Structure 1
Amino acid sequence: MSTLSDLLAEHTDLPGAAVDHLQRVVGEWQLLADLSFADVLLWVGTESEKNRSEGTVICVAHCRPTTASTAFPEDAVGTVVSESEHPQVLRALVEGRVVRGEDETWREGMPPRREAVPVRLDGRVIAVLSRDTNLSHQRAQSPLELAYLDCAEDLCQMISDGTFPIRESRSDTNSSPRAGDGFIRLDTEGTVVYASPNALSAYHRMGLSSDLVGQDLAALTRSLVTDPFESQEAAGYIRDTLADKPGRRMEIEARGATVLLRALVLKPGGRHVGAAVVVRDVTEVKRRDRALLSKDATIREIHHRVKNNLQTVAALLRLQARRTGNDEARQALTESVRRVTSIALVHDTLSMSVDEEVDLDEVIDRLVPMLSDVAGVGVPVAIRREGSFGVFSAERATPLVMVLTELVQNAIEHAFDPGVTGTVTLSAERSARWLDVIIHDNGRGLPENFDLEKSDRLGLQIVRTLLGAELGGSLGLHPGSGGGTDAVLRVPLGRRTARY
């Protein structure tokens, strides 16, 4: 099954910021599906924006509710439909408004069978989220169902407004409680106006002996938590949410119970109407998770030790380079120091990560001063980064960092005449499909009749090998538009489907 990133890379040319926003939508939408009692599908246009009105749409992600029967027994991911087959989705994409199926309105508290909601980012519609309800199993309109549906409507309006989801860590949203674990609705003052039975049970386990409805949730939670610092933090988290200052979901402990809590401000149409809080009693889960903590710590410790060993190797090579009297040997040892150091930086980042992913911007920003130090030239060369490289998996981050290191070092060593200062710029642009990087220098330009494929420079040979064997990318060296040289690097991000 293709991932969301793969499908977006194959069928769209969305910029990286739009891809990140859709990833956040998918990270949140299990809550929306459960509150809506409906399947939630994410659709994108398969044509360019100028031809969007005549194009088709494709489903790139599908979420089923855990609170109701699915409307689609078969998975809808990869389904391509035209306007005649799914008219409200394409209309929502083109018109930028919530569109319901023909003659479908809310009746007696029941939602419409089919609804399409535009997904906005910075004022632009980038996708459509549809809600499809299986009305063959009609639900009794209890207070729980009404509270769920009311909150779902607010969240959908915020998605259409472009104010939800907010930018927060993926681990935060992916580990959040679900609506069925426990749901609480607050008014604008932070008073509980509805609490589901599971939410009430979670608070009872923390020591509450009364009902939740009518209570100030922040003050109540503070009174139940025994640790004074944690109690203040929990109360502040709820109040900050009501003040539209979102924070990370948090765990609170009271009387031997552990409860996971996450709060979301509700501002449909820009109007503050309160907040939704989902809670989950994770006491038993927490006990099992403690056994996994030692495993995660072991993995991070391995990365830390690998980093230390690589730094020791780099130090030994640096010492040997200083003691050798052969200029060629000294240069080779210095280049080895740089390569080993770049790999060590990746392991250092992984030693502080829990998900085996590397923020490449952080690594490059730490690597740039080291490249300047070991440049081996007699004049200063300024190195700067523009744009964002984003997050990569550990297995791809190491070869990519090495490729960038070699290209920057190649520019430093070969672009500038003796005694001439210069600048090397790394410009990155990330889309759903590609990471495009240009390493530009303002030096003397490429040698006459230069051929990348025939070059015998070790650094360029390393780059070509890593691009072909590890990254599946491409490299070109061209004269810069304003002088100097551009090393143009393109690395695919999504898995491309083979075409015949």
Structure 2
Amino acid sequence: MSTLADLLAEHTKLSDAAAGHLQRLVAEWQLLADLSFADLLMSVRTENGDIVTVAQCRPNTASTVFPSDEVGTVVAASGQGGGTDGRGGPQLERAFTADRVLRDEDPEWLGAVAIRREAVPVGFEGDGAVAVLTRAVDLTHPRLPSPLELAYQDSANDLCQMVADGTFPHQEGNPRGLSTPRAGDGFVRVDEHGMVVYASPNALSAFHRMGWTTELTHTRLSEVASSLLTDPFESDDVATMIDAAVGTSAPPAGPYRDVGMRMEADARRATVLIRAVPLRPRGRSSGAVVLIRDVTEVKRRDLALISKDATIREIHHRVKNNLQSVSALLRLQARRTTNPEARGALTEAVRRVASIALVHELLSGSVDEEVDLDEVVARLVPILVDVASGDATIQVRHRDRLGVLSAELAMPLVMVLTELIQNAIEHGFDATTVDNEIEIVADRDVRQMRIAVRDNGSGLPDGFEMANSDRLGLQIVQTLVSIELGGTLTMGPNPSGYGTEVGVVIPLR
């Protein structure tokens, strides 16, 4: 099955930032589906004007409305007004241009099921709707809602308005990789003053296991939670986190500085995972949802996984150390070699081994096998300039954000950048050039990454053809780009009119 990123790349030309916002929404929308007792569908407008469904979520708290998979379905064809197939096309058309949540007055029948649809425009950075979220609720068997259902639905309505405002979900810090409790694990609704309005039975059970012996309603949740924790620092952090989500205090510093936070804390007899989700429809606080999950048993099983993760990172660390030892030996051999050609070859080998060692060093500190290319370039460029430029003054500018890539893409791409920068330093300039400068330009979207390494030097030699070049560095680059990365490589004049530009285009999906 295609991922959301694949579908967005296939059907849209959304920016990387807008696509990231939709991916964060899909990562968090299970909470919205559970609180709404509703199926959720995400739809986007394609390049040719169609509206297509790219993601679907079913609730854990109610039966599904759509038993079939709706992902990939064209809801409304361009110029046809949305059709009459029961998928809500006309409502979606209106939602893309509306700045509010659209609610149907009357239910519609989908087979034997009566459903009510709500279309929520997904706002992003004030640019209008980049997608539309559909809530479909089963109304076939109406009944009087329970207090739990009323609390769920009230919170869900606030979250939907925040989706339309573009303020949910937040880019919250989660450096420890903590999971998200579900509404069914334990749900507490607090008002704008931090007082508990409703607590689900599972939430009460979790607090009772932590040591609380009475009801939670009409208590100040931050004070209750902090009184039960054994570590005084965790106690203060949890209280600050809840109050910050409600809006009664400033957000905490550090990894929990943004609203929408989570923590794992130890009470006297239990370990719990707590998450506070602020409710600020139209920018005004209406309280918060606090989710709590008893993870005492899960915590014990996680210790084994933590041990394995530490082993993988230790392997990367040892590989880095071994590569650095190899690099040091090659450097020592280069110094003792009198043949200039052999010394140059050994120096190039030192550089290549060092670039691979740098990637392994970053992976040794990563928990998800991903590499920040901007950090690699920032640490690699000074080494290359210092080693290769000699007496010449060369400035390397890294202008655009390269972003994060998986290890299997980052490793060959770092080698490519190393060779291109090195080649520009060694061969791009001559005695006539002044203000020597190399520029790394990048452009990234959901489909591909485009990188250009430009210099303002003497340009390519007359009659130069990349396919016929016998330079080892260029041969390495061509092999890595075409085989390892599945991309394309071009060489030509710098658009500024002086020097050379080498372009690399690689697919990200």
TM-score for both structures, normalised by structure 2: 0.91
Give the match for residue 335 of structure 2.
322
Unaligned runs of 5+ in 1: 49-54, 106-110, 495-500
- Equivalent residue in structure 2 for 1:185, among 164, 182, 189: 189
Give the match for residue 443 of structure 1.
457
Does structure 2 conserve the Cα–Cα contact (< 8 Å) formed by 1:432 and 1:493? yes
1:321 shift after superposition: 1.5
Q: Which has the higher contact order (CA 8 A, sep 6+)?
A: 1
- Equivalent residue in structure 2 for 1:262, among 275, 279, 282: 275
Distance 2:144 2:340 in 1: 84
Give the match for residue 210 of structure 2.
206
Distance 1:350 1:135 in 2: 51
1:441 shift after superposition: 1.3
Q: SS at 1:379's partner residue? A: coil
Distance 1:248 1:318 in 2: 49
1:134 shift after superposition: 2.4
Give the match for residue 52 of structure 1.
none
1:176 aligns with 2:180: yes
Does structure 2 conserve the Cα–Cα contact (< 8 Å) formed by 1:24 and 1:170? no
Does structure 1 conserve the Cα–Cα contact (< 8 Å) formed by 2:115 and 2:140? no
1:169 shift after superposition: 4.9
1:61 aligns with 2:76: no
1:182 shift after superposition: 0.8
- Equivalent residue in structure 1 for 2:318, among 289, 305, 324: 305
Could you list the per-position Cα deviations for residues 298-321 of structure 1 after superposition, in whole angstroms to 9, with x for gaps in the alignment? 011101111111111111111111
Give the match for residue 165 of structure 1.
169
Give the match for residue 40 of structure 1.
40
Could you list the per-position Cα deviations for residues 340-377 of structure 1 after superposition, in whole angstroms to 9, with x for gaps in the alignment? 11111111111111111112222222212222222244
Written as runs of structure 1 = structure 2, the 5 A alignment for 1:217-232 is 217-232=221-236
Q: SS at 2:138's partner residue? A: coil
- Equivalent residue in structure 1 for 2:201, among 193, 197, 201: 197
Change (3 A) 1:75 1:449: same
Distance 1:252 1:139 in 2: 39
1:72 aligns with 2:66: yes
1:273 aligns with 2:277: no
Q: SS at 1:333's partner residue? A: helix
Q: SS at 1:67's partner residue? A: coil
Distance 2:388 2:58 in 1: 55
Q: SS at 2:446's partner residue? A: coil
Could you list the per-position Cα deviations for residues 176-219 of structure 1 after superposition, in whole angstroms to 9, with x for gaps in the alignment? 11111111111111111111111111111100001111111111
Distance 1:424 1:467 in 2: 21
Does structure 1 conserve the Cα–Cα contact (< 8 Å) formed by 2:178 and 2:262? no
Distance 2:105 2:230 in 1: 55
1:6 shift after superposition: 1.0
1:479 aligns with 2:473: no
The amino acid across from 1:147 in the alignment is A
Number of residue-to-residue matches in the alignment: 483
Could you list the per-position Cα deviations for residues 247-298 of structure 1 after superposition, in whole angstroms to 9, with x for gaps in the alignment? 6411011113011001111110111111111111111111111121111110
Change (3 A) 1:425 1:268: same
Written as runs of structure 1 = structure 2, the 5 A alignment for 1:74-473 is 74-82=68-76, 83-84=82-83, 85=85, 86-101=89-104, 103=106, 113-124=116-127, 125-138=129-142, 140-169=144-173, 175-243=179-247, 245=251, 246=259, 248-418=261-431, 420-473=434-487
Q: SS at 2:225's partner residue? A: helix
Change (3 A) 1:63 1:247: closer
Distance 1:413 1:7 in 2: 43
1:242 shift after superposition: 2.3
Does structure 1 conserve the Cα–Cα contact (< 8 Å) formed by 2:38 and 2:65? yes
Distance 1:130 1:344 in 2: 48
The amino acid across from 1:58 in the alignment is V
Stretch deviating more after TM superposition (292-301 or 94-103): 94-103
Could you list the per-position Cα deviations for residues 425-463 of structure 1 after superposition, in whole angstroms to 9, with x for gaps in the alignment? 112121111111121211122222221222222111111
Does structure 2 conserve the Cα–Cα contact (< 8 Å) formed by 1:218 and 1:235? yes
1:96 shift after superposition: 4.1
Unaligned runs of 5+ in 2: 77-81, 109-113, 252-258
Does structure 2 conserve the Cα–Cα contact (< 8 Å) formed by 1:472 and 1:492? yes
Distance 1:118 1:373 in 2: 52
TM-score for both structures, normalised by structure 1: 0.92
The amino acid across from 2:500 in the alignment is T
Does structure 1 conserve the Cα–Cα contact (< 8 Å) formed by 2:13 and 2:47? no
The amino acid across from 2:424 in the alignment is A
Could you list the per-position Cα deviations for residues 227-264 of structure 1 after superposition, in whole angstroms to 9, with x for gaps in the alignment? 11111111111122223732641101111301100111
1:75 shift after superposition: 1.2
The amino acid across from 2:234 in the alignment is E
Give the match for residue 498 of structure 1.
none
Distance 1:369 1:87 in 2: 57
The amino acid across from 2:102 in the alignment is V
Distance 1:138 1:469 in 2: 59
Stretch deviating more after TM superposition (183-192 or 234-243): 234-243
Distance 1:363 1:248 in 2: 30
Residue identity over aligned pairs, in percent, reads: 60
Q: SS at 1:444's partner residue? A: coil
Give the match for residue 10 of structure 2.
10
Change (3 A) 1:144 1:219: same
